[in-house]
Copies of this chain bind each other. A is one copy, B any other.
């Protein structure tokens, strides 16, 4: 331990994001007011903040398409939680937004990250990328077989509503191809879509959250941040819900619906069979 440390000296805290002095603000090494504001889109900036690399227009287009696909899905549990929190605490909109974001866990919003990690893991262990579709199919077959043998779901497969195909999936793949950004994660993901029925015994759609994970991984986004990208997308959707809740409130009626159908079961008691008895 140096003398400085003994005396309680403080380490420096490096950052490459924002800093200010006098009449300038620097963000990502750029002059914020002169070089970024008015020239750079918000999605573009988000990509840049996360990766420290400015996206090309092609990268920005694919990244923003992914964000759009993940922004909102109607009355999800997270949207309902945000609206109920706004009902309780309308003076603190940050709390309502945070409550919505806190639903970004393993079950619903985790698919994008899970898929990205799964694909990246398979690619890391494989040798050089296959040269043709048959090669990708073989790799996919091994990966799905191993996953199924472990009794685990293959992430990115299946959807409760879009059983015959999630419309975001072909769209993201098409944009990636148009922009020259179709890479190994998407190739492996498509191969999984082709081969899994032969292994799992039924055909499941490649879902939009999964293809988003594949596309983000091909874009070079860090795997640790994939869920963060979903949360950014969802943040816009949650603001839409909060704006709608202010214009046309429904959280009070959701609350009353639950309350009106509550049945009190004494501890140790059993839930009565049959439908709603509280009518």
Contact = CB atoms under 8 A, between A and B. Distances in A.
Nearest to A49: B240
A259 B21 CA distance: 12
Contact of A17 (B74, B225, B246): B74
Interface in A81-138: 81, 84-85, 87-99, 101-109
A149 B235 CA distance: 40
Contacts of A232: 235-236, 239
A38 B257 CA distance: 33
Interface in A30-46: 31-34, 36-38, 40-43, 45-46
A67 interface: yes
A239 B17 CA distance: 11
Nearest to A94: B104
B88 A67 contact: no
A23 B162 contact: yes
B85 A68 contact: no
A194 to B, nearest CB: 19
B264 A15 contact: yes
Interface stretch (A139-147, A166-174, A182-190): A166-174
A35 B165 CA distance: 18
Interface residues of A, number: 142
Question: What copy number does this chain have within its complex?
Answer: 4
A61 to B, nearest CB: 6
A227 B94 contact: yes
Contact of A246 (B105, B170, B172, B222): B222
Interface stretch (A2-10, A150-158, A195-203): A2-10
28 contacts: A12-B277, A14-B248, A15-B263, A19-B262, A22-B161, A23-B166, A23-B167, A24-B167, A25-B162, A25-B208, A34-B167, A34-B171, A41-B43, A45-B68, A74-B259, A80-B254, A87-B107, A89-B94, A89-B103, A90-B107, A91-B91, A92-B92, A92-B105, A93-B231, A95-B102, A99-B99, A228-B242, A232-B239
Given A15-B241, A51-B243, A235-B235, 5 more contacts: A49-B237, A89-B106, A98-B98, A228-B242, A231-B235
7 smallest A-B Cβ distances: which pairs?
A89-B105, A49-B240, A88-B103, A42-B43, A94-B104, A95-B102, A33-B167
